[in-house]
A and B are shown apart, each in its own frame.
Chain A
Amino acid sequence: GESVGLHLPTLSVQEGDNSIINCAYSNSASDYFIWYKQESGKGPQFIIDIRSNMDKRQGQRVTVLLNKTVKHLSLQIAATQPGDSAVYFCAENPQAGTALIFGKGTTLSVSS
């Protein structure tokens, strides 16, 4: 399944599907953009980051895409698993090592 539009608060997919979570950011001057995953009752956990001079970065089962023209960030999760169920936050980091500016989260629900 895929999300449509810039931001949806919830996304429901079937196990094995690919998921796409979108985020719009505001500060064109931010140096880094980061995705965090937050499971119920836990603190956010770093997934992947991308520097502003890149447009794509891949990790293990995840890909982050950055479109600076429209200030849009997306996280793609391949072969989504039930363990991927969580709230996903995008964040801006104006400068490495400084405080993060978090966006609204998207709740991903994966059904088997």
Chain B
Amino acid sequence: DARVTQTPRDKVTEMGQEVTMRCQPILGHNTVFWYRQTMMQGLELLAYFRNRAPLDDSGMPKDRFSAEMPDATLATLKIQPSEPRDSAVYFCASGFLFGNEQFFGPGTRLTVL
């Protein structure tokens, strides 16, 4: 069955290193979301795309985070340089233009030491 896939599933890195997370949305979905989950803040939106164009990235610290969709089958979230406060689980989700159901991937657990 169709699923959102994310890589890597786990990432441990040191402060200052670059981190790239990848997401493959479900084929045919034209909206892709990046969320971050922490114990303190819960689930919060970082950015989302429609038809590969960024629609909202207001939740993302733009000095260090960047999100792109090089093509319809790949979304990337990059952090450079990473900081310990970036430690969280990062989820990618995809959905249809007028749909409420967002399909979440398994997440990337990021630990920045």
CB of B97 within 8 A of CB of A97, answer yes
| Nearest A residue (CB) for B106 | A43
- Among B50, B93, B101, B106, max chain A CB count under 10 A is at B101
Tell me the interface secondary structure of chain A in the complex: loop
State the main secondary structure of chain B at its contact with A: strand
Known: A97-B97, A102-B43. 8 other contacts (CB 8 A): A32-B100, A49-B100, A96-B98, A96-B99, A98-B48, A98-B55, A100-B33, A104-B42
A-B contact pairs, 14 of them (CB 8 A): A32-B100, A34-B100, A42-B107, A44-B43, A46-B101, A49-B100, A49-B101, A89-B43, A97-B31, A97-B96, A99-B48, A99-B56, A102-B42, A102-B44
Chain B residues proximal to chain A, CB less than 8 Å: 4, 31, 33, 35, 42-45, 48, 50, 55-56, 91, 93, 95-107
